[in-house]
Amino acid sequence: MANHKSAKKRIRRNAKRAVINRARMSRIRTFVKKVEIAIASGNATEAREALRSAQPELQRGVTRGVIHRNTASRKISRLAARVKALAA
C-alpha cells in the first residue's frame, strides 16, 4: 500500500485513466468490428463507409496514446486492402 501522498494520488489518477483508456479501446474495437461485419456480409458500399468512420477512430487512439502508431497503420492498411478486394 502506498504511503506517500504523491503515490496515493498516482494510484487514483491511474485508476481514472484506466477507465478512460478502456472505453477508448472498446470504441475503437467497435468501429473495426463494424468494418469486418460489413466485409463479411459482402456489402462493398457499407464496408467503405464503415472504414471511412473507423480510420479517424484509430488515429484518435494513436493521438490519445491508447494504441501504437504502427498498430493503427497496420489495422487501417489491412482493412483497406480487404475492402478494396471486396469491391473488385
State the CB neighbour count (10 A cutoff) for residue 80.
15
CB 38 within 8 A of CB 46: yes
Q: Per residue in 26-54, pLDDT tens? A: 999 999 999 999 999 999 999 999 999 99
**Domains of the chain by residue range:** 5-87
* Largest distance between two CA atoms of the chain: 62
- Measure the CA–CA gap between 56 and 37, rounded to whole angstroms: 18
Give the helix ranges, DSSP H, for 42-68.
44-63
- pLDDT exceeds cutoff 90 at 2: no
Q: Does domain 5-87 have CATH number 3.30.40.10?
A: no
Q: Per residue in 66-86, pLDDT tens? A: 999 999 999 999 999 999 999
